[in-house]
Structure 1
Amino acid sequence: MPRNGALALTFNALVVVFMLAPLVIVCLVAFTPENTLSLPGWSWSLRWFEKVFHHPDFMTSFVNSLWLASTSATLSVALAVPSAMAITRGEFRGRGALEALFLSPLVIPHLVLGVALLQLFSHIGATGSFFWLMLAHVLIITPYAMRLLISAMTGYDRTVEHAALSLGASRWTMFVRVTLPMILPGVTGGWLLCFINSFDELTMSIFITAPSTITLPVRMYMYATESIDPMMAAVSALIVALTATTALILDRIYGLDRVLVGQR
């Protein structure tokens, strides 16, 4: 192997190790039998995972996050599909501006969005509502579904749709039986990406959650301000496992390379 190639490989390996080391350490600490944050020695324990599953506040927050992420991702995809179709197929003025508007939450800091939404919800009396928290999550995760669906629909061969219409199919039948199956990888990948981003969202959620709608990341933040013990590492390890599983499914369905670079 040429010297430059060996150096590049070594550098890439060091970058990967640097990125994964904190996650690996957190996951290892979760198995410690001690009462402090420490790496396990010869003995490993699941006591902190058991404590997480028996902690009512964490389990309630987990259910809140699971329900919030599922509903937000579903609504985001439902909004992104017709929007992506209009952007990729429509011929109208302002199409580029409309696409930029849909994707704008990607470049706005979530801290800014959180403060702005807190002010808005306070003025309209919507604080403490799960519905408005869901809409806030839809606002920040819809762009992820939009990117994948626009990518899936760009260059899409519409001759199959025209053939279905010429054979007497209605537009709804054509969409359900022809269009949707062809863009299903983008729809499924968009839903998974929206789900994991909604589940992990903290910066914005911390401003607009109420005692009855506290999500798991917010609960972790609140717990960490009071005390830090290996139970936090156990919760973090579970979230890492959930995120990794979702990423693997997304890679199998759509391809992480297309998601990361926004290929069209």
Structure 2
Amino acid sequence: MQKNGPIALIFNALVIIFMLAPLVIVCLVAFTPAETLTLPTTSFSLRWFEQVLHHADFVQSFWNSLGLAVAAASISTALAVPAAIALVRYEIPGRGALQALFLSPLIIPHLVLGVAMLRMFSLVGGQGSFGWLIFAHALVVMPYTMRLVMAALIGFDRSAEQAAYSLGASNAKVFQRITLPMILPGITGGWLLAFINSFDELTMSIFVVSPSTVTLPVRMYMYATESLDPMMAAVSALIVFITLGLMLLLDKVYGLDRILIGKH
């Protein structure tokens, strides 16, 4: 086992470098003053970041993505909490099937979801509606909030709840004063993870956005089909910085190791 230690360490380091190298290169290119994507660069400049901030389409798409992500994460969290409590604590008929249904967006390709959503929206007259776009994103990100809330509930010590019930507390009071505060890290972590995934969602969004509801990833895709200059790298770097900041916050609130290896 010890002989394989250095080899495993080197292999893991190479995998990490392979995964992070494109992100690092994009972030470095974003600071170039040149007109093209060049690396190495002779000097660093914020020129392309300034152009992004003055590009009306990118700014509007950013606000669309921000509002969409906040709404989708909030709705998915509001639905995931009662659903997780029901699945974890009660012997309801078809519990396994319901859990698989709630988590199914994790395994269904987003391309398939996008085509299905496009067809459904055309049938109900919801094409171009920001409300229906929120519904689509909430459906996709709900498994993330669901998984973290369920993990928090599974590792929950119910002795405090039982003591409160024995003292005459109502179900609503017990949930408000005991259950909710104790599972709040899982709820917060699920909300942040849902926000990140909604903000970065591209594949499904391409099918369901309208000219007035274009999200930032879709705008980037459209821009990349027309031209490829350092402004794309600047937008990508901004998304990387935002996602990194949220991931650090998520690690502080809930712990990334608990998400990745399923601890509770």
- Give the TM-score category using the shorter length: over 0.9
In 1, distance between residues paired with 2:229 and 2:133?
29
1:44 corresponds to:
44
In 2, distance between residues paired with 1:41 and 1:109?
39
User: Is the Cα contact below 8 Å between 1:61 and 1:214 reproduced in 2?
Assistant: yes
2:189 maps to a residue whose letter is G
1:61 corresponds to:
61
In 1, distance between residues paired with 2:84 and 2:2?
46
Cα RMSD (Å) of the superposition? Answer: 1.3
Q: TM-score, normalised by structure 1?
A: 0.97
User: Is the Cα contact below 8 Å between 1:31 and 1:40 reproduced in 2?
Assistant: no
1:2 and 1:89, CA in 2 relative to 1: closer, same or farther beyond 3 A?
Answer: closer
Count of aligned residue pairs for this structure pair: 264
In 2, distance between residues paired with 1:165 and 1:129?
46
Query: Runs of 5+ in structure 1 lacking a partner?
Result: none
1:27 corresponds to:
27
2:171 corresponds to:
171
1:37 and 1:97, CA in 2 relative to 1: closer, same or farther beyond 3 A?
Answer: same
In 1, distance between residues paired with 2:54 and 2:221?
19
Question: How far 1:74 moved relative to its partner?
Answer: 0.5
In 2, distance between residues paired with 1:164 and 1:40?
64
SS at 2:156's partner residue?
Answer: coil
2:194 corresponds to:
194
In 2, distance between residues paired with 1:170 and 1:74?
26
Question: How far 1:257 moved relative to its partner?
Answer: 1.6
Query: Runs of 5+ in structure 2 lacking a partner?
Result: none
1:226 corresponds to:
226
2:76 corresponds to:
76
The structure 1 segments of at least 4 consecutive aligned residues displaced by more than 3 Å after TM superposition are: none
Q: TM-score, normalised by structure 2?
A: 0.97
In 1, distance between residues paired with 2:195 and 2:12?
30
Residue identity over aligned pairs, in percent, reads 67
In 1, distance between residues paired with 2:236 and 2:106?
25
User: Is the Cα contact below 8 Å between 1:149 and 1:186 reproduced in 2?
Assistant: yes
2:93 maps to a residue whose letter is R
1:260 and 2:264 aligned: no
In 1, distance between residues paired with 2:123 and 2:167?
53
Question: How far 1:188 moved relative to its partner?
Answer: 0.4
